[in-house]
A and B are shown apart, each in its own frame.
Chain A
Amino acid sequence: MQLYVNENLVEVGSDSSLADLRALYKPTADMLIVNGYPVADSHHPAAGDRVVLISRGEVPTETELETLLVARHTPGVHARVKQARVGIAGVGGLGSAIAVALTRLGVGELIVADFDVVEPSNLNRQQYFVDQLGMPKVVALAENLRRINPYVSVISHVVRLTRENIPTLFAEVDVMVEAFDAAAQKALLVESFLSNVPDRPLVAASGMAGFGPANTIQTRRAGNNLYLVGDEVSAAAPGSGLMAPRVGIAAHHQANCVLRLLLGEDPLGE
């Protein structure tokens, strides 16, 4: 039968076990993964399976690296998200976490835009580091994303987004993400993107400040091509600051909504 071992199509005996494949292709392997899931060496793969054999701690060659990075992906998921282009407007608490999640998924291209620089007050929730203080956020983010998965193309714009440049910068995205901080900016992004690019879905967020319950943060369909994440009431205000857990929950609702849209699934499962 034919199956894939570390992304190479090979012909093996139909009763081969993972132990047999390891002996043939990578005797030092101590992680055996079939179709994204780790298995014991007694496991017998089926024709067409994707087998990845990994030696822990080994630095892979560049050609092996992407295969290994996506070894835990469910088959078919990586191939589809790899073709996708996602826009992210604002890379603060929401946008930086969404970008990290989409990079770990191996989304093909991210277009990120923000005019701001990394400040100490950002580090309570945003995906930056002390040694990046003062850097433009999109530059720091591109650096961090490259360290996670260098096969994701990151297009960075250090720019203040306006009614005029939003439709131009994000004209070609498959899915758009609103990840601003200010309410007026959120409304502006939704209006400007959906009135100019009405056939592409937009995932926005509203209401994730404070330390209220996690489960009040939800994803709902708020318009024809608009998905809205958040509890829709918890505004950032004195006494109700933005904190890593709820901002992260909202960001990952948004990232999962993007993933479901890219895979052709209804984000709400309806």
Chain B
Amino acid sequence: MQLVINGQSREVSAESLAELLVELQLDTSHVAVELNQAIVESSQFATTALNENDRLEVIQFVGGG
């Protein structure tokens, strides 16, 4: 399906948020995800279904501070 990820349209095969993060090869413990302007708790990644044209902001954190 088609999603908008960080402002860019993208065709993905994932159907849940957890599957999407695997598809994007991201470390789930280092990301924060906003789905249609609401933050998703990481405990809900596996049960959060994605829908056509969902807008996601996926922030991948790196260490240091």
- Chain A residue contacts of B30, Cβ below 8 A: 183-184, 186-187
- Chain A residue contacts of B31, Cβ below 8 A: 187
What per-residue 1/0 map shows which CB atoms of A232-249 lie under 8 Å from chain B? Answer: 111111000010000100
Among A131-139, A145-153, A219-227, the stretch in contact with B? A219-227
Known: A187-B29, A190-B59, A222-B57. A90 touches B65 (CB 8 A): yes
- Chain B residue contacts of A191, Cβ below 8 A: 32, 39-42
* Cα distance A235–B37 in the bound complex, in angstroms: 27
Q: Is the CB of A234 within 8 A of B62?
A: yes
- Chain A residue contacts of B60, Cβ below 8 A: 206, 232
Count B interface residues, CB 8 Å. 20
- Chain B residue contacts of A230, Cβ below 8 A: 62
Q: Is B34 an interface residue (CB 8 A)?
A: yes
Q: Is the CB of A223 within 8 A of B64?
A: no
Q: Which residue of B lies closest to A235 (CB)?
A: B62
CB within 8 Å of A: which residues of B?
27, 29-32, 34, 37-42, 57, 59-65
Q: Is A92 an interface residue (CB 8 A)?
A: yes
Among A22-30, A37-45, A61-69, A174-182, the stretch in contact with B? A174-182
A222 CB contact (under 8 Å) in B27, B38, B59, B64? B59
- Chain B residue contacts of A94, Cβ below 8 A: 65
- Taking A181-B63, A198-B38, A208-B64 as known contacts, 15 extra A-B pairs with beta carbons closer than 8 A to each other, sorted by chain A number, are A183-B30, A183-B62, A184-B30, A186-B32, A187-B30, A187-B31, A187-B42, A187-B61, A195-B40, A204-B59, A206-B59, A206-B64, A223-B57, A228-B59, A247-B65
Known: A183-B30, A190-B59, A226-B34. A195 touches B65 (CB 8 A): no
- Chain A residue contacts of B41, Cβ below 8 A: 191-192, 195
Q: Is A207 an interface residue (CB 8 A)?
A: yes
Count A interface residues, CB 8 Å. 39
Known: A191-B32, A223-B34. A183 touches B61 (CB 8 A): yes
* Cα distance A92–B64 in the bound complex, in angstroms: 10
What per-residue 1/0 map shows which CB atoms of A203-219 lie under 8 Å from chain B? Answer: 01111110000000000
Task: State the main secondary structure of chain B at its contact with A.
Answer: mixed
Q: Is the CB of B62 within 8 A of A187?
A: no
- Chain A residue contacts of B65, Cβ below 8 A: 90, 92-95, 179-181, 186, 205, 208, 242, 247
18 residue pairs A–B, Cβ–Cβ below 8 Å: A183-B27, A187-B31, A187-B61, A190-B59, A190-B61, A192-B41, A194-B34, A204-B59, A205-B65, A206-B59, A206-B62, A207-B62, A209-B62, A223-B37, A223-B59, A226-B34, A235-B64, A242-B65
* Cα distance A90–B65 in the bound complex, in angstroms: 9
- Chain B residue contacts of A226, Cβ below 8 A: 32, 34, 57, 59
Q: Is the CB of A181 within 8 A of B64?
A: yes
